[in-house]
């Protein structure tokens, strides 16, 4: 059985249950904010988790997420929402759920017309997913990571190289938002600076701008 990279589950849930929802609350607060009636943002990871779980629970209820682990839409079962390995053993994440992005993905792979149309027509045919996934796996295995990056970089195919958690965090966070030991927020980004100013952030409280992740 091929072992593929998995999402850093604990940290990912932390981002979703705390930071991402908090950032959404901030945006909503900014939209409704007035000097006469300032808003207080409350953020509780448990409440956020309950809110985020609604999609999953509803999907289970309607049968959209009724198969075993690894056979559903967003857990690696769908061939257009999975991970593939290149010829030089690098990994690429594919997430082209929307039909228009899936078409771009298929076109970039250079698949002949009859097969291309068959893939597009059966994108949401769950019974075809295992064969489609095997087909894409074979294509990725014949191309180097450099070839794949060159092909997919300027497109809307929703394909990116999988990098280590440390590398991604260094690139996404520390480059754009630096917090000193005394917790003074150093604003290296003008948009984040305006956001912090508008919210009148205290020096002992900082928020990582998830728009940069």
* Measured distance CA(73)–CA(65) in Å, rounded: 7
What is the number of structural domains in the chain? 3
Domain assignment present for residue 151? The answer is: yes
Q: Are 98 and 90 in contact (CB under 8 A)?
A: no
- The answer on 153 and 85 residing in a single domain is yes
Structure confidence at residue 2 (pLDDT):
54
Domain assignment present for residue 150? The answer is: yes
- The answer on 102 and 61 residing in a single domain is no
Q: Are 103 and 120 in contact (CB under 8 A)?
A: yes
Domain assignment present for residue 141? The answer is: yes
Domain assignment present for residue 76? The answer is: no
Query: CA nearest 111: which of 128, 129, 135, 130?
Result: 135
Q: Are 16 and 95 in contact (CB under 8 A)?
A: no
Domain assignment present for residue 72? The answer is: no
Structure confidence at residue 131 (pLDDT):
97
* Measured distance CA(207)–CA(185) in Å, rounded: 9
Find the domain containing 212 and state its range. 164-213
Per-residue pLDDT in tens (0 to 9) along the chain, 213 residues:
456 766 555 555 666 677 777 878 887 777 776 656 666 777 777 787 787 788 888 888 887 788 888 888 888 899 999 999 999 999 999 999 999 999 999 999 999 999 999 999 999 999 999 999 999 999 999 999 999 999 998 899 999 998 765 565 555 554 444 444 334 444 444 545 554 554 454 443 344 443 333
- The answer on 181 and 140 residing in a single domain is no
- The answer on 180 and 213 residing in a single domain is yes
- The answer on 195 and 149 residing in a single domain is no
Structure confidence at residue 9 (pLDDT):
53
Structure confidence at residue 204 (pLDDT):
36
Structure confidence at residue 22 (pLDDT):
80
- The answer on 155 and 92 residing in a single domain is yes
Q: Which of 43, 66, 89 is the last residue of a domain?
A: 66
- The answer on 147 and 105 residing in a single domain is yes
- The answer on 120 and 168 residing in a single domain is no
């Amino acid at each position: 059985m091929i072992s593929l990279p998995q999402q850093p589950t604990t940290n990912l849930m932390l981002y979703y249950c705390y930071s991402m929802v908090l950032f959404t609350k901030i945006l909503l607060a900014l939209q409704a904010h007035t000097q006469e009636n300032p808003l207080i943002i409350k953020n509780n990871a448990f409440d956020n988790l309950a809110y985020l779980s609604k999609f999953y629970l509803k999907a289970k209820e309607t049968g959209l997420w009724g198969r075993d682990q690894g056979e559903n839409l967003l857990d690696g079962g769908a061939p257009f929402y999975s991970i593939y390995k290149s010829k030089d053993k690098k990994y690429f994440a594919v997430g082209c759920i929307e039909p228009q992005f899936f078409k771009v993905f298929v076109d970039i792979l250079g698949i002949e017309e009859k097969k291309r149309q068959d893939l597009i027509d059966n994108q949401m045919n769950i019974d075809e997913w295992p064969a489609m996934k095997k087909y894409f796996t074979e294509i990725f295995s014949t191309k180097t990571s450099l070839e794949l990056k060159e092909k997919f970089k300027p497109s809307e195919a929703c394909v990116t190289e999988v990098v280590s958690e440390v590398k991604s965090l260094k690139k996404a966070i520390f480059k754009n938002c630096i917090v000193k030991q005394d917790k003074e927020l150093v604003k290296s980004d003008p948009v984040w600076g305006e956001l912090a100013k508008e919210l009148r952030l205290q020096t002992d409280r900082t928020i990582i701008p998830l728009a940069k992740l």
